[in-house]
Amino acid sequence: MYDVIIIGGGAAGLFAAANLKTHNGLVLDHCPEVGRKLLITGSGQCNLTNTLPTDSFLTHFGSKQQRNFLLPALQNFTTKNLYDWFEQQGLPLLVREDGKVFPKSLDARDVRSFLIRLSKVQIITNAHITSITPLEQGFLIATANAAYETRNLILATGGMSYPRTGSDGSGYELAKALGHSIVPLKPGLTAISITDHPFRHLAGNAVRDAFVSFYHSGENAAYEQRRGDVLFTHDGLSGPAILSSSRLV
């Protein structure tokens, strides 16, 4: 029996594997390789964190409910803690003028390789989970090709934002099977498509520090307002101001 099995080999799963207190464990991932989404983070440069203190960092999340949910995690492991961890483990970092933190190489592949190298346990890919059965002391995890018993289980499967990278939503079904309730899913951090988009010819151009208001049809009061950069795309709008509001739109 294993001490711990981590399901999901993305950023969270790999970071957990690098910080385990035991070598008697596994990382199981259903993709041919781990860290696929990590490779596209920060346009392939891997924006790891930022230099904001926790209180300031939390103001960038959309609602009080989101901030309250994240507060305990960020109080127990701050952005500075993360920065120090990577530096102490041997990955040099670079801080941009805007406070965003990247690997000094500006190459996300270096971050993935670094986390894989630090993993305390074996990583198994192409491991498609078919069921998780609670045991008297632990869990039985069945894949298409094998079965594993573990005392502890970490679900680090991510959401369903990018199926080609492995974030296909399959983790929600595993969580449901273990008795967890799932908050209804909504698209978030996504561009907005506009029917009969009149500014298609402006695709690629941006408005810096725009003030954006969102209205329901027929209403005069804005239900969301935000300041930030707005990017014109071939079928609508994107950029930080749009992405940050997209959960509500």
Mean pLDDT of the chain, nearest integer: 93
102-149 pLDDT, tens digit each: 999 999 999 999 999 999 999 999 999 999 999 999 999 999 999 999
192 has a pLDDT exceeding 70: yes
- Locus of tokens 């959309």: 62
Q: Are 106 and 96 in contact (CB under 8 A)?
A: no
Q: What is the reported pLDDT for 146?
A: 96
Q: What is the reported pLDDT for 61?
A: 78
Could you give phi then psi for residue 18, rounded to 5 degrees?
-75, -15
Strands 25-28 and 122-124: parallel
**Domains in the chain, start-ordered, CATH in brackets?**
2-177 (3.50.50.60), 192-245 (no CATH)
How far, in whole angstroms, is CA 179 from its chain's centroid? 23
Q: What is the reported pLDDT for 193?
A: 93
Give the residues across from 129 on adjacent strands: 143
**Dist. CA 220–CA 88, nearest whole Å:** 54
**Least-confidence region, from 18-32, 163-177, 213-227:** 163-177
Q: Which helix (H) or strand (E) holds 15?
A: helix 11-18
**Dist. CA 224–CA 244, nearest whole Å:** 10
Q: What is the reported pLDDT for 194?
A: 93
Q: What is the reported pLDDT for 249?
A: 86
Q: What is the reported pLDDT for 62?
A: 66
41-98 pLDDT, tens digit each: 888 999 999 999 999 999 877 678 889 999 999 999 999 999 999 999 999 999 999 8
